[in-house]
Structure 1
Amino acid sequence: TTTYYMLKKFRKFITSSNWHVIYHPVLFNNLNQFSLTNSSYDDNYILLYGRMMAGKGEDVLIKALKILKDKGIIYRTIICGPSPNKDYPTNLIKFYGLENQVVYVGSRLDKELAELINRSSIVVIPSTWEEPFAQTAAEAMFFGKIVIASNIGGLAEVVSDFGLLIPTKDPYALAEAIHELMSNRNKREMLGKKAKEYARKVFDPENYIQNYLKAVLK
């Protein structure tokens, strides 16, 4: 299984001592080397990416940004990923009057997405459902980006102590966490470096293969 969170779930229904937890690797169609050899940039924007399905939490992010804007604090934000309702992210942005600071760019191919991650300041994943794993978090950390994530499901396990975990569905907590990091570049660079070191070790494809072979051949 992909996380200890899911292992706990499975054990409620299937009794077995032969369970193995193997984290998914970061692949990006052979663009891993991109994240390892290129310097991380910081173009001073927040990134939320992934499939914009129910439970992704883009509404929580938008509300958090509105809370900050009402205090005179404005951060540029990019939302990226396919949406079953292509108008929903844009309409949500307009509803809260954030058109001048938030943009929804739709889907992006691997190379474009890698560049968006590499140039972001932080990655936000305010999911409201219990994700079995959190590929976006692993990818962002692989690029040395600090992740702010909901303290729920496999997402919390992937981020662990190498990001900021916040209560689910709490835009005020998210707003506070965003401002804490966006107003302190040194802090996010320091935390991002630790996240990258961890991710390169835990989510490395070679590590995945070795763990898989150990489980199969045991």
Structure 2
Amino acid sequence: MLLSALAGLGLGFSLIIAIGAQNLFVLRQGLRREHVLLVAAICAVSDGLLIVLGVSGVGLALQALPWLLSAVKWAGAAFLIGYGVLAARRALRPSGEVLVVDAAPAPAQAGSVAVAVRTQTMPVVLTCLALTWLNPHVYLDTVFLLGSVASTHGDARWAFAGGALVASVVWFFGLALGARFLSPWLSTPRAWRVLDGVIAVVMVALGLSLVLSH
């Protein structure tokens, strides 16, 4: 059981630690200190659900529905390219964004800040969900690959799944909460332009790779 859990932990980290759309979004939210725990939780829970689907054998059933993965591929490609274009626009036409950690808002501003936070939560949640569930590589890696490997562990496959889930939780919360240590290097508008430029390139490249894949 322990060996299976460690195997799941290792494979989970190997699949999740890569420069991708989801990780870049989590990193950006962590740097901005906006909805950090919410974003990390959405990613971890989504990963957990996908792991359960793969280990329970649903991945094998989904292989009989190739049109479903194709639909996800095209929707994901469109979303990634669109998100990349928005990031490129931020890089080319910056708003002067800098990483500043302010003290608690003044009493007179507290109400307006609370309203702003509420109105900004839903776009962040929807974007996070889209970057997770509209990425066909997530299904290929988490549902199909991880599920297939888990099946080789027999009765210990759920221990394997638990190890993979731990890797997901540690990675997403570590990335989101650890991003603040990069703040000294992202305290100028120029640094944010570079970051958004990198995000734009990666997002568009991922989107195009989906379009061109067979």
TM over 0.5: no
Higher relative contact order (CA 8 A, sep 6+): 2
Structure with bigger strand share is 1
TM-score normalized by structure 2?
Answer: 0.33
TM-score normalized by structure 1?
Answer: 0.33
Structure with bigger helix share is 2
User: Which structure has the bigger radius of gyration?
Assistant: 2
